[in-house]
Amino acid sequence: MTPESAPTPAAIPFRRLHPTTLLQGLLRTLPGFVVLLIPVLAGRGGGGHRFFLAMALLYALIGLPATLLAYLRFRYRITPEQVEIVSGILSRQHRSIPIDRIQRVEVDRPLLHRLFGTARVRLMTGSGTGAEGELDAVALDDALAFRATVRRLQARLEQPADPAAESTGVPVEAEEPEAEEVFRLTPGLLLRAGAMRFSLVYIALAFSGMQFVGLTVEDVVDWIERTNLIARIPFFDLSPLLALAFSVGVAVVLSWMAGLLVTVVRFHGFTLRADARRLYTERGLGGRFERAIPRSKVQAVLYGTNPITRRFGYAQLSVQTMGLDDSGAGREVVVPLARLADVSALSGRLLGHPAAEVLRPVSRRFVRRRGLRYTVYVVLGSLLASRVWEPALGGLALVPLAWWLAWAQWRAHGYAFDGRVLVVQHGALWRRQWHLPLAKFQTVERWANLFQRRLGLASVYVDTAGAPDVGAPVVEDLPEEEARALADRLYGAFEALVRARPEPPLPEPALAESPPVPPHGGRLPGEDGEAGTQNSTW
Amino acid sequence: MPSDPIPALAVTVDSAPVLAPRTLEPAMERLEPSVRTVWRAQVALWWIPLVLAAVVYDVTQLVRGAGPFPFAVTVVAALAAVWFIGVLPALRYRFWRYAATEEALFAERGWFTRVRTVVPLRRVQHIDVAENLFEREVGLARLVVHTAGTRNNTVVVPGLRRERAEALRDAMRAYLADDPL
């Protein structure tokens, strides 16, 4: 029976999974069970014997009934508007996935399923967290029918003229057949990109690499002396600290060369092309790597700089994407290195809007909070380390550095919102500037912890699809009133944008007799007695 | 109020609309008071065995020869238990507020960090109504709203009457307009 033959959504019955789900579930736990029983089966007695028997008993008393109950509890159904899944034994869950949110229906058949003639159905909504709904083991025909039903329902919901979808992109001529080249990384830029790369990771790697090949500080010194690269420097013998500094210097040079090499290999011949719908990047030495990024999937644009590129007026441009592949979220470099002006012009083209030039600083009390926090880290770290290694107490000398860092971070931190794009910048050394277009906002959040409240501060954050968890574009420590006003403005602007858009019609349950929809404006409360029964269908 | 392009679906429960009309400053509602009991029970499930274990540990220490502070571990564990079972659920309840309008779900909560989250209904991917054993016992449920975001991938409103949670879900669904990322 296919669901759409049912008269009304409310009457569509919930279905269970295929009965062999139960058997399959048990089979899957069997290997673990056998491992548990090996000592018993092997006949080796002793004290452990009873323990393993007890485990087996536990499995029989808890594991088996749990599998059975989980099977009995699990129900699903597909109505014209949504897929509903009821599951859970102790913690129960009733999940509703709107049909139009389902991006993919995967039907696959791992070994066990093939043996039993069943299939597994997984529903992805593109929120990037794996399958939002999973039907483990339904009959193959049912699985295929399920997928077909979802597709048919989606086709029905789809509007004839796809509105809104591309309206956030740049209005480039839609008829353009060839993607236009937007950026090319010249050999000169490539070398500069490599040379200005500045990564602690590589320094650490170089160091551990030296450790790995057994290259000690003394070896390096010896080697330099032997090869007469530089004249024998007698003061190496005087102080181990000097030798250490020299070794660090070698690590830095090695890492610099490694960074240069990696950059050249990675970005050799990099080009960026764009048409109305997609961005195309091409890169790589030897093998060519091509990537197409649908412009509608671009969630945010960000500039990255480090102290060296900043000093010379260069930046890197990346886009934050969503739903490009199975991993969902990601960041793609679209310009490895270019003059800041070029980067900003390109980002303006991507967002269809020039970037805000002037950023508003956050409260100066930011420095106090950060400085205190880093001081606590430094002091605690030094004290703890000094219990193991006495000289670590010297770490306390880093306290001024902590305050300098806090101040530098305050200087780097700022935001701007012109009604269309939220710009957030942070990072004292590696600096990032995020450009979040209004149309891609997910949620707006404002918070203040106890310490912030004491100082009259609050933070504001706009969540986007694919945003990083660590280093997210939070506007930290605004004065409370400003934070409140900003959050309200951000959400207000988002709703204004949404209201201004052509409204997609509400999903019409055309497949079934639709329940009586009240006229615009609703009905008077209690006007008719059916109001109560209607609740469950809408 | 600007012109209303969304045809209002008068979903009603107890003859009152489930969702407030669209506004940026909705009247915030509190959770059901019984949610405190649920939270307490959940936390007690962990803390009471822990306190008992502390007592056993202290008694065995006492038998072996008392140190300077007999029952110190018990006292610490008991204080922590009082905080987590007795005080914290009440604080959480005190600061929890929510509101659901035809445009968004508003959630305010937190004693230490006070958070206000606005989830536009357009951004909702799917909705769960979930309940655990304790919640079921007092007829409560959680409304779990999923978005495509990262930090606010899931926003949970606990302590709703089950019927209320279901009504909210059903009412919200009509407003989850298709809005491609």
For residue A105, is pLDDT > 70?
Answer: yes
Nearest to B43 by CA among B87, B98, B75: B87
Which whole number is the average pLDDT over A46-60? 72
Q: What are the chain B neighbours of A464 within 8 Å (beta carbons)? A: 149-150
How far is Cα A430 from Cα A318, in angstroms, rounded to an integer? 14
- pLDDT for the residue numbered B21: 83
Which whole number is the average pLDDT over B51-60? 91
Q: H/E/C letters for each residue in chain B?
A: CCCCCCCCCCCEECCEECCECCCCCCCCECCCCCHHHHHHHHHHHHHHHHHHHHHHHHHHHHHHCCCCCCCHHHHHHHHHHHHHHHHHHHHHHHHCEEEEECCEEEEEECCCEEEEEEEEHHHEEEEEEEECHHHHHCCEEEEEEEECCCCCCEEEEEEEEHHHHHHHHHHHHCCCCCCCC
ipTM for the predicted complex comes to 0.84
Nearest to A156 by CA among A110, A99, A108, A106: A99
Q: How far is CA A152 from the centre of its chain?
A: 31
The whole-angstrom distance between A336's CA and the closest CA on chain B is 25
The whole-angstrom distance between A294's CA and the closest CA on chain B is 11
The answer, for A446 touching chain B at a CB cutoff of 8 Å, is yes
- pLDDT for the residue numbered B4: 47
Q: What are the chain B neighbours of A472 within 8 Å (beta carbons)? A: 150-151
How far is Cα A439 from Cα A424, in angstroms, rounded to an integer? 16
- pLDDT for the residue numbered A94: 92
- Considering only CB atoms, B181 lies closest to which of A88, A94, A323, namely A323
How far is Cα A244 from Cα A317, in angstroms, rounded to an integer? 37
How far is Cα A34 from Cα A56, in angstroms, rounded to an integer? 9
B54, two tokens: 């502390």
The answer, for A449 touching chain B at a CB cutoff of 8 Å, is yes
* Mean of pLDDT over chain A: 78
The answer, for A263 touching chain B at a CB cutoff of 8 Å, is no
Q: What confidence category does residue B85 fall into, taking pLDDT thresholds of 50, 70 and 90?
A: very high
- pLDDT for the residue numbered B55: 92
For residue B69, is pLDDT > 90?
Answer: no
- pLDDT for the residue numbered A214: 64
Q: What confidence category does residue A293 fall into, taking pLDDT thresholds of 50, 70 and 90?
A: confident
Of the two residues A352 and A37, the one the predictor is more confident about is A352
- Tell me A230's DSSP state: S
How far is Cα A134 from Cα A123, in angstroms, rounded to an integer? 6
Contacts of A69 (CB under 8 A, 6+ apart): A89
- Considering only CB atoms, A442 lies closest to which of B15, B116, B149, namely B149
The answer, for A515 touching chain B at a CB cutoff of 8 Å, is no
- Give pLDDT tens digits for B89-145: 999 999 999 999 988 999 999 999 999 999 999 889 889 999 999 999 999 999 999
- Considering only CB atoms, B115 lies closest to which of A165, A445, A491, namely A445
The whole-angstrom distance between B61's CA and the closest CA on chain A is 28
Range with the lowest mean pLDDT among A135-149, A178-192, A214-228? Answer: A214-228
How far is Cα A425 from Cα A304, in angstroms, rounded to an integer? 10
Q: What confidence category does residue A238 fall into, taking pLDDT thresholds of 50, 70 and 90?
A: low
Range with the lowest mean pLDDT among A103-117, A227-241, A311-325, A358-372? Answer: A227-241
Q: Tell me the range of A127-141, A209-223, A347-361, A393-407 where mean pLDDT is highest.
A: A393-407
End-to-end CA distance of chain A: 23
- pLDDT for the residue numbered A166: 41
In chain A, which residue's Cα lies nearest the Cα of B22? A495
- Give pLDDT tens digits for A161-202: 444 444 444 444 444 457 788 899 999 999 999 888 876 676
Cβ distance A297 to A439 under 8 Å?
no
The answer, for A275 touching chain B at a CB cutoff of 8 Å, is no
Q: CA-based Rg of chain A, rounded to a whole angstrom?
A: 31
Contact B15 A526 (CB under 8 A): yes
How far is Cα A371 from Cα A365, in angstroms, rounded to an integer? 10
How far is Cα A455 from Cα B49, in angstroms, rounded to an integer? 40
A135, two tokens: 């039907």
Beta bridge partners of A300: A320
Nearest to B174 by CA among B109, B101, B118: B101
Contacts of A251 (CB under 8 A, 6+ apart): A203, A206, A207, A210
- pLDDT for the residue numbered B11: 47
- pLDDT for the residue numbered A470: 83
- Contact residues, A window 203-262, toward B, CB-based 8 Å cutoff: none
For tokens 């699990």, what's the residue? A74
- pLDDT for the residue numbered A225: 61
Q: What are the chain B neighbours of A469 within 8 Å (beta carbons)? A: 150-151
Contact A498 B149 (CB under 8 A): no
Three-state DSSP class for A456?
A: coil
The answer, for A494 touching chain B at a CB cutoff of 8 Å, is yes
* Mean of pLDDT over chain B: 86
- Give pLDDT tens digits for B28-38: 999 999 999 99
- pLDDT for the residue numbered A498: 83
How far is Cα A28 from Cα A526, in angstroms, rounded to an integer? 53
For residue A196, give the amino acid letter: M
Choose, out of B150, B152, B170, the residue to mutate when testing the contact with A (most A CBs < 10 Å): B150
Which whole number is the average pLDDT over A65-90? 88
Of the two residues A490 and A255, the one the predictor is more confident about is A490
Contact B120 A443 (CB under 8 A): yes
Q: What are the chain B neighbours of A442 within 8 Å (beta carbons)? A: 120, 123, 147-149, 152
Q: What confidence category does residue A361 fall into, taking pLDDT thresholds of 50, 70 and 90?
A: very high
Choose, out of B97, B98, B178, the residue to mutate when testing the contact with A (most A CBs < 10 Å): B178
How far is Cα B28 from Cα B51, in angstroms, rounded to an integer? 38
Cβ distance A272 to A291 under 8 Å?
no
- Contact residues, A window 162-191, toward B, CB-based 8 Å cutoff: 164-165
Q: Tell me the range of A157-171, A259-273, A286-300, B130-144 where mean pLDDT is highest.
A: B130-144
Which whole number is the average pLDDT over B163-178? 86
The answer, for A514 touching chain B at a CB cutoff of 8 Å, is no
Contact B11 A499 (CB under 8 A): no
- Considering only CB atoms, B169 lies closest to which of A96, A441, A447, namely A96
Cβ distance A494 to A500 under 8 Å?
no
- Contact residues, A window 307-336, toward B, CB-based 8 Å cutoff: 322-323, 329
- pLDDT for the residue numbered B165: 95
Of the two residues A247 and A492, the one the predictor is more confident about is A492
Q: H/E/C letters for each residue in A109-149?
A: CCHHHHHHCEEEEEEECCCCCCCCEEEEEEEHHHHHHHHHH
Q: How far is CA A309 from the centre of its chain?
A: 26
Contact A100 B116 (CB under 8 A): no
- pLDDT for the residue numbered B1: 41
- Tell me A36's DSSP state: H
Contact A447 B150 (CB under 8 A): no
- pLDDT for the residue numbered A482: 96
Beta bridge partners of A274: A180, A279
Choose, out of A83, A86, A442, the residue to mutate when testing the contact with B (most B CBs < 10 Å): A442
Environment class of A399 (CB within 10 Å of its CB; exposed 0-12, middle 13-18, buried 19+): middle
Taking CA A128 as the corner, what is the angle to CA B147 and CA A324, rounded to the nearest 5 degrees?
Answer: 120
Q: What are the chain A neighbours of B155 within 8 Å (beta carbons)? A: 443
Which whole number is the average pLDDT over A480-501? 91
Environment class of A434 (CB within 10 Å of its CB; exposed 0-12, middle 13-18, buried 19+): buried
Q: What confidence category does residue A483 fall into, taking pLDDT thresholds of 50, 70 and 90?
A: very high
Which whole number is the average pLDDT over A22-39? 77
The whole-angstrom distance between B148's CA and the closest CA on chain A is 4
Choose, out of A153, A441, A463, A503, the residue to mutate when testing the contact with B (most B CBs < 10 Å): A463
Which whole number is the average pLDDT over A381-393? 87
- pLDDT for the residue numbered A224: 61
Of the two residues A374 and A522, the one the predictor is more confident about is A374
- Considering only CB atoms, A95 lies closest to which of B7, B126, B132, namely B126
Taking CA A61 as the corner, what is the angle to CA A57 and CA A66, rounded to the nearest 5 degrees?
Answer: 135
Cβ distance A442 to A464 under 8 Å?
yes
Range with the lowest mean pLDDT among A226-230, A451-455, A457-461, A523-527? Answer: A523-527
How far is Cα A414 from Cα A416, in angstroms, rounded to an integer? 7
